[in-house]
Structure 1
Amino acid sequence: MSTIFERRSTQAGLVLAVLLLPLVLQPFGHHWVRVADVSLLYVMLALDLNVVVGYAGLLDLGYVAFYALGAYLFALLTSPHLTDHFAWIAALFPQGLHAPWWVTIPLGAACAALLGMLLGAPTLKLRGDYLAVVTLGFGEIVRLLVINMSHPVNITQGAQGLGLIDPVHILGVDLGRPLVVAGHEVASVTLYYYLFLALVTLTIVVCQRLQHSRIGRAWMAIRDDETAARSMGINTRNLKLLAFGVGASFGGVTGAMFAAFQGFVSPEAFSLQESVLIVAMVVFGGMGHIPGVILGAVLLAALPELLRYVVGPLQTATHGLLDAGVMRPLLIALAMIITMLWRSSGLWPAPDAAQAQGKNQRPRKGRSRSDSPL
């Protein structure tokens, strides 16, 4: 009974800390609240990719393509770019498109899901490294398309990116501007924090329901042994397509939120490094385990900003011999290597994975007769 009470108390304390975090960080400057906002965006991305990698076992290194699709679709439908460059659109919408979020976000999710299934269809027979290489190439193709779709018809502005993106409006509240509540001003970054926190909570609920559903159990059967799953009557083709589609749709929603939050999108935000980082968050925290994925995303999203204040003084003390731009990724890579050697299943793996890891790392005291090769 006391254990249950302690667990509930810990959960309540954690929820309270998460709710009060922006109010605690705000006196130190909006920068730290913005770091918390970006961390929540990465948590959403990691949870979304966990559906594909952690549940279905499909190593997708091009996930950033769906993230980019959601961001650019939101940007095109809410910025003045299309009306400025296409006279017929300006004639239809003299005041500009400025599509509401309840149109752009579902549309981004649907288009990303369709793109995900189009990617998944020709790769159904690929596994492991082969699938990773194909999806990696797909992500780069989408990024290069975005860069080159500025001529002969200017759709994406190329490498210059799209700006003047409308912020999210909810119940008449413009999240792009500070809100005065009872005489106290709540910054825009704080408003977005609570929006992202609500979306993270919704994503967690959906992922938990998926994990414990028949579809989720079928995904995990495919992940563990696709041949055995097929022999048990599981339709691996349709379920793998569904995993690609569901994961991609979540990525499209997160991309739309990123565009609204930043007010600007460019191809640089959707590079190969971003894809690898999102996969690293899932693997670093613990594939298939929601708390572990959240932990990995928060650490890898916030750690570079924390290291900025560690490496900066070191660079000054060594008269510029240490480059902060090089040292930060180097320290993160070293931390990941050490962690993977120490806990190969991630920092916080699923209980069954943790037990298997403990058995594999348990030292053997001696050699029994059954260990003999004869």
Structure 2
Amino acid sequence: MSANTSVKSPSAAAKLRRTAWYQQPRFKRLGALVALAVLVTIVIGEQGNTRDLFYSVRTSFTGVKLWVCLGLAVVVWLVREFGSQHVSKAVEGARSTTKWAPLLQARDAMRVQPKVKWAVMTALLLAVVFVPGQLTGFWQTVLIDQIATYALLAIGLNVVIGWAGLLDLGFVAFFAVGAYSAAFWTGSLPVEPPVVLNNFLIIPVAVVTCLIAGVLLGAPTLRLRGDYLAIVTLGFHEIVYLVAKNADGITNGPAGARQVPKFSAFGYEWSLERMPYWYLLVAIIVVLIILFARLEHSRVGRAWTAIREDEVAAAANGVDTVRFKLMAFAIGASTSGIAGVFYASKVGYFNPENFIILNSILVLAYVIFGGMGSIPGVLLGAAILVWLPEVLREWVEPADRYMYLGALLVIMMIYRPQGVWPSRRRQREFKLAQEGVGDADAMTEPAGGAVR
């Protein structure tokens, strides 16, 4: 009996080690996509009523929307699981041919030769400056009031989350601080300022104010990490929001700030025309990109990376974690102050409802979607996710637009968690995590388990 058992034990052990087909990562991803399709169908379906509690579920599952969503989910799965291999082979084959040799040489030259890199960046900047002038008035408004403004916020939040690894769910609170600073110093609130300032002079004042607010938020939360830090920042946002909404004698309460003056300098005043605001925003964003790019590769940026990867190990190796975490909160908040001053001057009127918690979640989604730690990535993420709801305006109800954004984010997290345009460091981290060599900060182990 023992001999037969010993003979059969290797095959039995092999069967135990064998992974069932439904446990394979490929089919797990299919299950996640199918579940996502069902959830989206229910969310965008008919509204329920008190007379029939299951009306919404029943109508969602009997309509054509369910099959459309399931079909799209299966198509995404098939294309990504089976089509990506053929695309990768085709790309590699094209690279080996002489037809694509000039493009590859130009790409390598741009990476190695600074002159080629600056030429490409100059051409891109010229396109950013002059192409929006050819758009319609509606898209110019979307570009200035939403895309560019949220791009500023995403650049600041990228410092806090992408570089320092500090989860902040109340980032729009600093945006509100910057906007109310502009309203206060221009005399647009019930409280009279000591002196009325020009909007350009308000920018450094708002930056300092947001720096102080960032330090006040960061100082009590230095020992917190992860979910606990996120809850505290969420509470900070609610405090700012409720103060702005209820302090009638200071912020004018729900009525908000009215008739905030426009930007003016040297006798020229920014009026209702859109493009002067775009040129001003481009100048501000370019300056911030240059400064933050230098900051990323400085001693401060390396300290932030060490804190993000392992705060305990960073402190053990001499990194002053308290100081650098405070710097991350303060510097990230200062960018929101600039965005707040610009927004207040551009729209002329705002109220506390412009700074709800949903906006903080959206900015966080833009950073994650574009690629945490990557300045081009967060700019691209903000542009895509702000542009997409406006494109869906004619076909999708306003209440359902963010559901499609959520579905897109889930698909991104399944197939490309590093983002559309990740930083080189983060891309390397995810590659090592997939190989089982190391763990990226957003993953506990690679798909299928760690390799040992």
TM-score range, shorter chain: 0.7 to 0.9
1:39 to 125, 147, 158: 147
Partner of 2:296 in structure 1? 211
Taking structure 1 as reference, are residues 12 and 103 closer, same or farther at Cα in structure 2, changes over 3 Å only?
Answer: closer
Q: 1:103 Cα deviation (Å)?
A: 2.6
Letter in 1 for 2:198: P
2:234 aligned with 1:234:
no
- 8 Å Cα contact 2:199/2:345 also seen in 1: no
Alignment partner of 1:345: what SS?
coil
Partner of 2:239 in structure 1? 141
1:260 to 338, 345, 356: 345
TM-align CA RMSD: 2.2
Q: Deviations over 1:262-289 (max 9, x none)?
A: 1011111110100111111111111111
1:284 to 352, 362, 369: 369
- Aligned pairs (5 A) from 1:57-206: 57-82=165-190, 89=192, 98-150=196-248, 154-177=249-272, 188-206=273-291
Q: 1:202 Cα deviation (Å)?
A: 0.9
Cα distance between partner residues in 2 of 1:20 and 1:346: 28
Alignment partner of 1:103: what SS?
helix
Cα distance between partner residues in 2 of 1:67 and 1:190: 23
2:436 aligned with 1:351:
no
2:402 to 329, 332, 341: 329
Gaps of 5+ in 2: 1-104, 111-115, 437-449
Alignment partner of 2:251: what SS?
coil
Q: 1:20 Cα deviation (Å)?
A: 1.4
Larger radius of gyration: 2
Q: 1:24 Cα deviation (Å)?
A: 1.0
Cα distance between partner residues in 1 of 2:320 and 2:182: 34
Partner of 1:48 in structure 2? 156
Alignment partner of 2:350: what SS?
coil
Partner of 2:75 in structure 1? none
Cα distance between partner residues in 2 of 1:108 and 1:11: 30
Partner of 1:308 in structure 2? 393
Q: 1:8 Cα deviation (Å)?
A: 6.1
Q: 1:134 Cα deviation (Å)?
A: 0.6
Of all paired residues, the percent bearing the same amino acid is 40
1:338 to 411, 419, 436: 411
Cα distance between partner residues in 1 of 2:175 and 2:350: 11
Alignment partner of 1:166: what SS?
coil
Cα distance between partner residues in 2 of 1:309 and 1:20: 28
- Aligned pairs (5 A) from 1:22-37: 22-25=132-135, 28=136, 30-37=137-144
Cα distance between partner residues in 2 of 1:301 and 1:156: 29
Q: 1:352 Cα deviation (Å)?
A: 2.8
Equivalent pairs, count: 328
Letter in 2 for 1:110: V
- 8 Å Cα contact 2:158/2:372 also seen in 1: yes
Partner of 1:16 in structure 2? 126
Gaps of 5+ in 1: 178-187, 312-323, 364-369
Cα distance between partner residues in 1 of 2:281 and 2:382: 14
- 8 Å Cα contact 1:72/1:265 also seen in 2: no
Partner of 1:315 in structure 2? none
Cα distance between partner residues in 2 of 1:36 and 1:298: 8
Partner of 1:366 in structure 2? none
- 8 Å Cα contact 1:75/1:265 also seen in 2: no
Q: 1:176 Cα deviation (Å)?
A: 2.0
Partner of 2:72 in structure 1? none
Q: Deviations over 1:311-362 (max 9, x none)?
A: 3xxxxxxxxxxxx122211111111111111101111111232234345557
Cα distance between partner residues in 2 of 1:371 and 1:240: 33
* TM-score, scaled relative to structure 1: 0.83
- 8 Å Cα contact 2:151/2:383 also seen in 1: yes
- 8 Å Cα contact 1:75/1:165 also seen in 2: yes
Alignment partner of 1:155: what SS?
helix
Cα distance between partner residues in 2 of 1:2 and 1:243: 36
